[in-house]
Structure 1
Amino acid sequence: MNKIKKITSYELFLPIMCFILVLLINVIKTPTFFEVSIKNGVFYGYIIDVINRASELVILAVGMTLVVASSGGTDISVGAVMSVAAALCCYILAGGQQTINAYQNPYVLGILLALVVGVVCGCFNGFLVAKMKIQPMVATLILFTAGRGIAQLITKGQITYIRVENYKLLGANIPGIPLPTTIFVVVIVVLITNIVLKKTALGLYIQSVGINAKASRLVGLKSSRIIFLTYVFCGLCAGIAGLMASSRIYSADANNIGLNMELDAILAVALGGNSLSGGKFTLLGSVIGAYTIQALTTTLYAMSVSADQLPVYKAIVVVIIVSLQSKEFKKIVRGLKDKKADGRKEEQVA
């Protein structure tokens, strides 16, 4: 058990160092980066903005981590599922059908149905991957392609604006609390997920299935069920992220909500030091990876990089960070250390 903890700590070293490096670049470029001010009882500042804006990505990264760990594949439909969940919730809050609108609390109904549709999408992806044995990239490509079309059907091809004041609270601030609500949602999701993985055998099961699904099946684990559950959870996370994203803009924009966020979620998992082939994973690493990506985005905007050019610079930095975490780079570092050690021994002998 101690050995596992040591390995985990070592794997987290590079993600943490990369995050610190990005923050240092921010401080050099913007000396006031860590300054936090209070206006009208609400915290403002660059660092608050990074933490707040990364909320959806952190939640997606949590779900993506378990999918990658169990199946060795990725769910590229999470951005589209965000759009579907947001579209359904805003459709209900904007009026929807008369029978739905007559419900006593459409706010609660809208949120619940959005989460349910996220779970349903996760069930669909999980069924294709776990039961039908379709490759994860191909299986999730279906909703990746069709998801935004479904959202467009729900919203009738238009941006759906809502007038339910309480819905703003999910993406803004609760009166009397200086921190954005999204931060508390992230803390709750990460804590509950971590507690379930640590206090039950689920984390060990996911790791075992990811390393070798056939061997896990031979020792009595239902590999397909575990993989299915991780995709369901990932769909739920996408539903939560969709609600937060739509609450920020107080509307449902089927074309833009969650756009390209599936790629950032996968990158967050990779930057966190997780194995993309499945097996060993660290939830904290994925969270750090998500905040690193958002800090990097903020840095590039501060450097006057346009939104069109942003993916190019982000890709370059991500390639460098991932390369530093690769096994080959670690072998090179170990080789250099061994050469230095041999050189010192030769000097002592001489």
Structure 2
Amino acid sequence: MEKLKNFTSSSLFLPVVALAALLVFNGIFVEGFFDIQVTEDGRLFGRMIDILTRSSSLVILSLGMTLVIATSGIDISVGAVVAISAAVVCTLIGGRGDGVAETPMLLAMLASVGIGILCGLWNGLLVAKFKIQAVVATLILMTAGRGVAQLLTEGQIITVYYKPFASIAGVIPGMPLPTNVFIALAMVAFVAIVMKKTSIGLFIQSVGINPTAAKYVGINVTMVLFLVYAFSGFCAGVTGLIESSLIRAADANNAGLNMEMDAILAVALGGTLLSGGKFYLGGSVIGAITIQTLTTTLYALGVSADQLPVVKAVAVIAICLIQSRKARVLFEKWKNRGDGAAAAGAKAVNKA
């Protein structure tokens, strides 16, 4: 009973409830939602596998966005950085029809992730050094980023015929799930270990709560902001690799489109307050999976892609209401009333 009480009071309670409610809804109204098929070579197929596969990119983006929001910032440029990263890797590998790479794939991948980090450092420079508001600073790259991607691809969709490139987000023989799922798991594990085993997580929370106080206690606020935005750019660079590998092409117009909004929504749904401070990596991961589950559910019910933003907007409104101070006060009153009733009942039993 005590463990249940602690869980209902934790930050993961609402994200888990939201995901569980979606899964129950799908189990009732979407036929065969939980069905999973296994091919002869051990590969898994099904809607649940599709959710894991498609949510991997959003999970990775949400990791960087969580740390940025924890510093009381925001990064609305990650979608454009995804497009730049995809354009870089596909341009370097080339679209030769003979299936030969113009640049070694490893070098192209490093360049793609590196450009993502540079974009993150640019955002960090504007926020940390020039003291520009985060939403304005990242809006610059959000606006210009797709133009940069268009310049790199010369306004064309570059299709990559080099077969090993598909393995970045494809299925390697002998593996039941696509590679991008394992990449996302590895990044989640890495960030969780770094945040738990080092003081970086505490520094990030301190900067988000009060940067002035953090500076006076010896924390290098500028360096923390640089690292956070650079990591967000790194996550966007990795996502660009995955997204371009999924379609084997670079589409500067559509790569990463609106993914920044989904990442912010995933972080908010996971319990991290947009005002900064304490953050919840596990909640962000659950939030990302919840959003992809919602998207898959709506598609299964016949909702068109044009109508999806309306549903997500409703979800944002609901999250803001749930996270409001008044809602939290009401929840605490309801919980305390329940505890009081339980205590009164136990007292009556003891008297009897």
Equivalent of residue 257 in structure 1, options 255, 258, 262: 255
Residue 237 of structure 2 aligns with an amino acid whose one-letter code is G
Aligned to 1:329: 327
CA distance in 2 between partners of 1:173 and 1:345 (Å): 55
CA distance in 2 between partners of 1:339 and 1:9 (Å): 14
Aligned to 2:3: none
Structure 1 counterpart SS, 2:11? helix
CA distance in 2 between partners of 1:30 and 1:111 (Å): 39
Aligned to 2:26: 26
Equivalent of residue 229 in structure 1, options 224, 227, 242: 227
Aligned to 2:300: 302
| Closer/same/farther in 2, CA of residues 32 and 7 from structure 1, 3 Å limit | closer
Residue 322 of structure 1 deviates from its aligned partner by 4.2
CA distance in 2 between partners of 1:225 and 1:82 (Å): 24
Unaligned runs of 5+ in 2: 1-5
> 2:7·2:13 contact (CA, 8 Å) conserved in 1?
no
> 1:88·1:113 contact (CA, 8 Å) conserved in 2?
yes
**Percent of matched pairs sharing the same residue:** 50
> 2:169·2:245 contact (CA, 8 Å) conserved in 1?
yes
Aligned to 2:82: 82
CA distance in 1 between partners of 2:319 and 2:261 (Å): 16
> 2:94·2:102 contact (CA, 8 Å) conserved in 1?
no
Aligned to 1:284: 282
Structure 2 counterpart SS, 1:308? helix
CA distance in 2 between partners of 1:8 and 1:94 (Å): 52
Residue 320 of structure 1 deviates from its aligned partner by 2.3
Residue 265 of structure 1 deviates from its aligned partner by 0.3
Structure 1 counterpart SS, 2:44? strand
Residue 345 of structure 1 deviates from its aligned partner by 8.8
> 1:126·1:232 contact (CA, 8 Å) conserved in 2?
yes
Deviations 1:39-64 (A, max 9, x none): 24211001000010001100000000
| Closer/same/farther in 2, CA of residues 266 and 176 from structure 1, 3 Å limit | same
The more displaced of 329-338 and 293-302 is 329-338
Deviations 1:306-350 (A, max 9, x none): 11111112222342244334332121122344556778899989x
The more displaced of 120-129 and 322-331 is 322-331
The more displaced of 335-344 and 150-159 is 335-344
> 2:95·2:159 contact (CA, 8 Å) conserved in 1?
no
CA distance in 1 between partners of 2:309 and 2:184 (Å): 25
Aligned to 2:66: 65
Q: Does residue 44 of structure 1 match 2:45?
A: yes
CA distance in 1 between partners of 2:25 and 2:7 (Å): 28
CA distance in 2 between partners of 1:93 and 1:286 (Å): 33
Q: Scaled by the length of structure 2, what TM-score is found?
A: 0.91
| Closer/same/farther in 2, CA of residues 68 and 327 from structure 1, 3 Å limit | same
Structure 1 counterpart SS, 2:33? coil
CA distance in 2 between partners of 1:327 and 1:176 (Å): 50
> 2:30·2:301 contact (CA, 8 Å) conserved in 1?
no
Deviations 1:32-91 (A, max 9, x none): 212210124211001000010001100000000001112x12100000000001001000
CA distance in 2 between partners of 1:341 and 1:16 (Å): 22
CA distance in 1 between partners of 2:336 and 2:283 (Å): 28
Deviations 1:214-242 (A, max 9, x none): 00100111111101100000000000000
CA distance in 1 between partners of 2:134 and 2:8 (Å): 26
CA distance in 1 between partners of 2:342 and 2:153 (Å): 70
Runs of 4+ in 1 over 4 A off after TM superposition: 6-9, 337-349
Residue 197 of structure 1 deviates from its aligned partner by 1.1
CA distance in 2 between partners of 1:321 and 1:190 (Å): 24
> 2:95·2:161 contact (CA, 8 Å) conserved in 1?
no
Paired residues in the alignment total 337
Q: Scaled by the length of structure 1, what TM-score is found?
A: 0.91
Residue 219 of structure 1 aligns with an amino acid whose one-letter code is V
Residue 175 of structure 1 deviates from its aligned partner by 1.4
CA distance in 2 between partners of 1:238 and 1:342 (Å): 48
Aligned to 2:205: 207
Unaligned runs of 5+ in 1: 1-5
CA distance in 2 between partners of 1:208 and 1:93 (Å): 42
CA distance in 2 between partners of 1:342 and 1:200 (Å): 40
Residue 21 of structure 1 aligns with an amino acid whose one-letter code is A
| Closer/same/farther in 2, CA of residues 91 and 343 from structure 1, 3 Å limit | closer
Aligned to 1:3: none
Aligned to 1:143: 141
The more displaced of 195-204 and 30-39 is 30-39
Aligned to 2:189: 191
